[in-house]
Amino acid sequence: MRAGISIVLLCCLLLAAHAPVQAATEAPDCFIDQGPCTKTATGRQVAFEILPRPVKAMKELTFAVRAIGRNTAPTVLLDLSMPGMYMGRNEVILKKTPDGSYSGKGIIPRCPSGKKLWRAEVTIPGAGKVSYTFNVNP
Amino acid sequence: MLTRDSLYLLMFGSGLLGGIGHCSGMCGPIVAAYSLHLRPSGTEGKPYTSLPHLFYNAGRITTYSIIGGLMGLTGSFANIVQAIEKFQAIAMAGIGAVMILIGVATSGLFSFGRQSAISPGSKSIAAAVTDAVRRGISFIAETQTSGSFYVMGMATGFIPCGLLYTAYIAAAGAGAGSGSQTEGFLKGMLMLFFFGIGTAPSLFLIGRIAVLKREWIRKRFYRISSLFMIIIGAMLIYRSFRY
């Protein structure tokens, strides 16, 4: 009995990372290689862009956010994650630029499993959170 | 702003959390495979010690800490990764090849004794090569010292992993913000050290379960454990080419 439980536990641990954690319905809602993506957060339009394009993993990238309206916050927080797969905390602080947008540099790691769907969650003080799901070229 | 202590705690937590779902999938099969082929220590009442697992994890954490230190020293993730990318693929293929060899050697399908199969009078080159391969496989399959587990752990530390990359990015970022290169190196090294410590419990658990239930598994799944090792090895080689 105990042996059986141990084997089940071992199998669960080994299968945990190989399980198709990325839901079948998960699909990109932003085609970041084609240009900025715009979404609405508490009535304000927020555009998100990554340069250079095509967006590649393991390369230094410039992340930019432009929110329509008056932006008083000196920084906004960008949280990069992989849907359904814990990849550690990868945050980029975007600083306000003279033109009123926010910009910062960061890196999106490559997942050796072949998964390429990433999510960027932008937290704008006063405007809440908005997330973009997009594919990254390996 | 994160204090230094909370930064290390965060790295430890990241390793601990990621270790369960992430590392157990990548390194877990390697740990389970070598654990199934561990030889009893000979100590009565405690035939399988935790030492192989401790040395394996120590090796892995050593590699993480060194690379983390280099990330912190240079403050650049991209440069270091670019420099070690080929080596990572080679290490992954190498581990895969060793696993296949051990799997084949322990499957019982072939005879891989240490004794030379060539008769003294035989001059055939093919026979000599076959004998050398046989001896090599036998040596790899039978060498089970603390040092060999430490080296295996160090090599495994090079296997590319997304979670690990995120930790390296954090180390490079911390290094870039440091006052000196020495401080950056130490910070990066310690960050990855704590991250590695965090990933150890899940792999240690997999190893211990596999080794404790080794006989149970082997009795019921004769030769399956060797086949499992060969499959994991082939998967690693495939991934190394795709990487």
SS3 of residue A135 by DSSP: strand
SS3 of residue A20 by DSSP: coil
Amino acid at A77: L
Contacts with B212 from chain A: Cβ below 8 Å: 6
> Are B210 and B32 a contacting pair, CB within 8 Å?
yes
Q: Which of residues 19-38 of A touch B (CB under 8 A)?
A: 21
Q: Which of B23, B6, B69, B27 is nearest to B163 (CA)?
A: B23
Is the pLDDT assigned to residue B122 strictly greater than 70?
no
Which tokens belong to B183? 């401080």
Q: What is the CA radius of gyration of chain A?
A: 18
Distances from the Cα of B189 to the Cα of A94, B27, B73, angstroms: 26, 21, 9
B7 shares contact with chain A (CB less than 8 Å): no
Interval B135-151 mean pLDDT: 74
What is the average pLDDT value for chain B, to the nearest integer?
80
For residues A44 and A46, what is the distance between their CA atoms, to the nearest angstrom? 6
Contact assignment for B21 to A17 by CB distance below 8 Å: yes
Name which of B32, B78, B213 is nearest A14 (Cβ-Cβ): B32
Is the pLDDT assigned to residue A2 strictly greater than 60?
no
Which tokens belong to A111? 């997942």
Bridge partners (DSSP) listed for residue A60: A107
> Are B2 and B185 a contacting pair, CB within 8 Å?
no
Listing DSSP states for A25-88 in one string gives T---S--GGGS-EEEEETTEEEEEEEESSSPBTTSEEEEEEEESS----SEEEEEEEETTEEEE
Please write the tens of the pLDDT for every residue from A40-91.
888 889 999 999 999 999 999 999 999 887 778 899 999 999 998 888 889 9
Bridge partners (DSSP) listed for residue A79: A91, A121
Instruction: Locate the chain A residue with the closest alpha carbon to B12.
Output: A88
Contact assignment for A90 to B169 by CB distance below 8 Å: yes
Is the pLDDT assigned to residue A14 strictly greater than 60?
no
Residue with the bigger pLDDT between A130 and A127: it is A130
Contact assignment for A17 to B23 by CB distance below 8 Å: yes
Share of chain B above pLDDT 70, in %: 75
Q: Which of A69, A123, A119 is nearest to A94 (CA)?
A: A123
| Interface predicted TM-score of the whole assembly (ipTM), two decimals | 0.75
For residues A130 and A123, what is the distance between their CA atoms, to the nearest angstrom? 7
> Are B203 and B31 a contacting pair, CB within 8 Å?
yes
Model confidence, pTM: 0.78
Name which of B20, B26, B210 is nearest A10 (Cβ-Cβ): B210
Contacts with A114 from chain B: Cβ below 8 Å: 242
For the sheet with A128-135, list strands across it.
A37-41, A44-51, A60-67, A102-107, A85-96, A75-82, A117-124, A128-135
Please write the tens of the pLDDT for every residue from B172-219.
999 988 889 999 999 999 999 999 999 999 888 888 888 777 667 666
DSSP A131: E
A12 shares contact with chain B (CB less than 8 Å): no
How is chain A split into domains, by residue range?
Answer: 24-135
* CA of A67 vs chain B CAs: smallest distance (Å): 25
Interval B2-18 mean pLDDT: 85
Please write the tens of the pLDDT for every residue from B47-86.
567 888 899 999 999 999 999 999 999 998 888 888 888 8
Distances from the Cα of A125 to the Cα of A64, A72, A73, A96, B100, angstroms: 16, 9, 6, 12, 54
Give me the pLDDT at residue A24, please. Answer: 47
Which tokens belong to B102? 């051990």
Length reported for chain B: 243
* CA of A2 vs chain B CAs: smallest distance (Å): 10
Q: Tell me which residue has tokens 């086949």.
A: B227
CATH classification code of A24-135 = 2.60.40.1930
Share of chain A above pLDDT 70, in %: 82
